[in-house]
Amino acid sequence: MTPEETPLLHGGSAAGGAGTAAAAPGSSPTPLRHLPRLPQNIGHRGYKAAFPENTMAAFRGALAAGPTPRDRRPLDPTLKRCFGLDAKIADCDWAYLRTLQTLQEPRQGMPRLADLLERAGQGREAVWVLLDVKTDDDPELLLPAIARTIAGVSVGGGGGGRGWKERVVVGGWNENYINHARLHLPGYPLAYIGFSLLYARRFLSDDHPDVHFNLLQATLVGPLGARFRREARKRGRRLFVWTVNDEGWMEWCVKKGVDGVITDQVGRYREVRDRFGSSTTGPYGSGGDVVLTRREGQGQGIAWPRKVRLYGKAILLQALAALFSLLFWHRLSTRGGGKGKGKGKGNLAPPAKT
């Protein structure tokens, strides 16, 4: 089994897997097995740099450019960015939505989540899907709909017979959505998506032992980022970073031992990965720097003047993210609350067994 054939989060074989199974709140997650492994190649909205985003052409392009990259599929709330229409998807029926074409060439129609899952489940290669669930819609309606969609698509022969719980990671932007995902998709791997280490730390607690991290890459730069990486590793959590299109930052991700690089430039990151051999000191993915063998004559890293600018920008973004978190702490936990019982509560839990 090659590194690109291993699941995003679940445990693998000694030949190439490294992972942890999702754990229920209050239990201890299975420890990660830190084997030599380069960060996975995760296509951001498919192969966004070459195709209209969130279309089947983009997903097929990502698979072709891979090798076997994973598709990150955001569930966008509106038609504005891709189709140029000022309307919410939730207010339109499928009979209308299926007629739309993207603004970007080559023009494409809108796929449903079921369409993507059918493609992922029927191919010969193993495809892993990282869902980016936005906070614009009611989680009490959105998450059950996602659960019904996943349940309605059978897994074919692709991916070695693994079920959706080993091939779909559900990502949410706040605690409210994470709790709803846990309730409606029990046993599925979860990931907090965000840009603030201050807010991300709440998911390092024992209240969320099943939550991994999908963070803005700049968040993990510098001493605060290094500390978070170490602590996440000690608690058996995975680290994915977005959206990394700069070649220098791609190399940084490889050296820092993150688990996956979410990028618009799937082909470019494949080339960066190809420059490196296996880890020579370890364990890989331990949260610290990893010494890797670089193929002779390939890549020079980031020049010092540019590195100072990039790191300075990253530290500034971290400070702004921390300020944002402090100002909107309550909103981060309640946005998207439903109209019924439990509206806006970040401490949603499954109903007690009787």
Other CB atoms within a 10 A radius of the CB of residue 184 amount to 19
pLDDT band at 329 (very low <50, low <70, confident <90, very high): confident
Nearest to 67 by CA among 128, 17, 134: 128
Nearest to 299 by CA among 249, 247, 253: 247
- The pLDDT of residue 276: 80
- The pLDDT of residue 353: 37
Higher pLDDT, 119 or 20: 119
pTM comes to 0.75
- 133-159 pLDDT tens trace: 988 888 999 999 999 999 999 886 555
pLDDT band at 256 (very low <50, low <70, confident <90, very high): very high
* Mean pLDDT in residue range 308-337: 80
pLDDT band at 181 (very low <50, low <70, confident <90, very high): very high
Based on the number of CB atoms within 10 Å of its own CB, is 147 exposed (0-12), middle (13-18) or buried (19 or more)? middle
Strands (E), the chain: 40-44, 70-75, 129-133, 168-172, 190-194, 211-216, 239-242, 260-263, 276-279, 292-294
> Rounded to an integer, what distance in angstroms lies between the CA atom of residue 98 and that of residue 94?
6
Average pLDDT, the chain: 75
Find the helix packing angle between 222-234 and 304-327, rounded to 10°.
70
Give the right CATH number for 3-75+112-334 from 2.60.40.10, 3.20.20.190, 3.40.50.720, 3.40.1400.10: 3.20.20.190
- Which residue carries 């007690």 as its tokens? 352
- 79-90 pLDDT tens trace: 888 888 888 887
* Mean pLDDT in residue range 57-76: 56
Residue 177 has pLDDT above 70, yes or no: yes
pLDDT band at 285 (very low <50, low <70, confident <90, very high): very low
Give me the phi and psi of 73, to 5 degrees please. Answer: -115, 95
Q: What percent of the chain has pLDDT over 70?
A: 64
Domain boundaries, the chain: 3-75+112-334
Residue 36 has pLDDT above 70, yes or no: no
> Rounded to an integer, what distance in angstroms lies between the CA atom of residue 117 and that of residue 128?
10
Residue 278 has pLDDT above 70, yes or no: no
Peptide bond into 305 cis (omega under 30): no
Residue 214 has pLDDT above 80, yes or no: yes
- The pLDDT of residue 259: 94
Residue 277 has pLDDT above 80, yes or no: no
- The pLDDT of residue 292: 54
Helices assigned H by DSSP within 29-187: 56-65, 80-83, 94-97, 113-122, 139-151, 175-184
> Rounded to an integer, what distance in angstroms lies between the CA atom of residue 110 and that of residue 99?
8
